[in-house]
Structure 1
């Protein structure tokens, strides 16, 4: 079973200052049941998210979604804020944008005009968070301040797309629905046509929408879902490759190994060893 970390309350916030290669907290990659925002104030940090390298520079934010395997790889003169927030404290609109676009963008640049507001908002949120019961209506106050911070961070992901009515557009709605279907059915549904049927649209239109919004084909996103979950299991468990193939929905062990190597350039065994180094 892959371990999932959780926070005791709805929110945790902390600042890490002056982190360098010799002082970075090196712990095993893990995944969380909550959303996590890494906001780089100065210096630089390199994260691994679902076994992909994600660099952060000053003025960047990284949203790590629930279930994504991640860890810090390196840092230099790094000053970062870490905000962990449970799902129910994030507005539905923000979740829609983050769940739909964060997997394809990694870390994104914050709007420079919003940086001062974000700095003040995070500092205020942190001060109130550590004040504890000294503030009346603390949960409500914290939730409001959190909403401001997460809204600014989510706006950075929204800015990657130019349409003002992005969230309401039919293509974005379809991409969101496709991602939800994929997360639920990737073990049993490997055919792009099956997802198009579920969405009651043609395969050509689904491919057009997904390609336009992510730069990848439907089959590529299906492959990424399968390979990402396979790598998570390889990292955390010692099950055999044959058992992994079966768990991923492949009766043909040899085909699964070829499929995995074609996607990653490594065999499953090599990927397991590489991820644990």
Structure 2
């Protein structure tokens, strides 16, 4: 092993003895353990650092070490926030003010439902500014980035429930209706849903019951079904899906799950065991847009979320989404969003 030599300090350069000792100690460490990264230019770096931070008492002596990056988009965890897989209750304006994290853009790892009773709750969901008004329900999917803005004189009921506590058929329904907007309830169904909320809250308070969790789970799933059925009634009044709609539904579900890694229409067709031509015919007939358009829009939605809510550079975001060719990613973003990623980031900087 080649031994590193101690730095011969020039007497004409005034550097504190303790800094000289630290550099030479670093070299000694290298000679003892060559796996330690030795920065041969460390002496000059420390000197420059000393000159620029002459008045500072602390000095960073590890120029190769970088601070860890902040998470792209914060995720509120069910276990951290509620300590269990189901939470239901009623909140007033004074209580809502204590939920500081709700005012910052985030995702949840659970499904969230609101029933607005009094006042209006402004909320921003994936770049759309919405208002949950009195007698309205609102559903937020775990994939959606959202935050609450300023509000006053508000009373609302809420339900938070994770995948494990949702019945599989209801989980599938929620995937189908996502994304949605606040939905106004007619007086009759509003009364039924309000009574269901009240019953579920009362059940949540009788923890001594032996069948407590089963009772709470069943009552909250009933509430989820009631809300989901209202959204479905608007999107498909007949309740019967055509062959084209069933295939489009399967495609959208697969796209949501695989968009980060699967980009080619033929790959989705293979997953659904049909031809690419037929899949495209089904999707275009149902939605008015091609398979490729849906794929691109889903990718760019995720890019927008990262550009808006994270501190990553555009190139880092492109790479995270699987685009090593940054110019191509920029062209795709511009095509779908109508502006370049740089312009979007500047326009939406917070």
Give 5+ residue unaligned stretches, structure 2. Answer: 1-70
**Maintained 8 Å contact 1:111/1:156:** no
For the pair 1:154 / 2:214, whether they are aligned, the reply is: no
- In the alignment, which residue of structure 1 is the partner of 2:282? 209
**Maintained 8 Å contact 2:107/2:143:** yes
CA distance in 2, matches of 1:221, 1:47: 25
CA distance in 2, matches of 1:46, 1:262: 30
CA distance in 1, matches of 2:247, 2:301: 22
For the pair 1:124 / 2:225, whether they are aligned, the reply is: no
The offset of 1:71, in angstroms, is 0.8
TM-score by length of 2: 0.68
Superposed, which structure 2 residues align to 1:256-271 within 5 Å? 256-271=329-344
For the pair 1:239 / 2:308, whether they are aligned, the reply is: no
1:187-234 Cα deviation digits (max 9, x unpaired): 343333432233233444333433454454323321221112212322
Where 1:142 maps in the other structure, the secondary structure is: helix
1:58 to 119, 131, 134: 134
- In the alignment, which residue of structure 2 is the partner of 1:78? 154
**Maintained 8 Å contact 1:24/1:75:** no
Are the structure 2 counterparts of residues 258 and 30 from structure 1 closer, same or farther at C-alpha, using a change threshold of 3 Å? same
CA distance in 1, matches of 2:280, 2:131: 29
CA distance in 2, matches of 1:201, 1:181: 14
How many residues matched?
Answer: 272
**Maintained 8 Å contact 2:145/2:305:** yes
TM-score by length of 1: 0.84
The offset of 1:38, in angstroms, is 1.8
Runs of 4+, deviation exceeding 3 Å = 22-26, 74-78, 109-112, 169-173, 202-205, 211-217, 269-276
Q: Is the radius of gyration larger for structure 1 or structure 2?
A: 2
2:219 to 121, 145, 156: 145
**Maintained 8 Å contact 2:103/2:149:** no
Are the structure 2 counterparts of residues 106 and 52 from structure 1 closer, same or farther at C-alpha, using a change threshold of 3 Å? same
- In the alignment, which residue of structure 1 is the partner of 2:264? 191
**Maintained 8 Å contact 1:196/1:202:** yes
The offset of 1:87, in angstroms, is 0.8
1:236-272 Cα deviation digits (max 9, x unpaired): 4332212222222223212212222333344323434
- In the alignment, which residue of structure 2 is the partner of 1:89? 165
RMSD, aligned α-carbons = 2.8
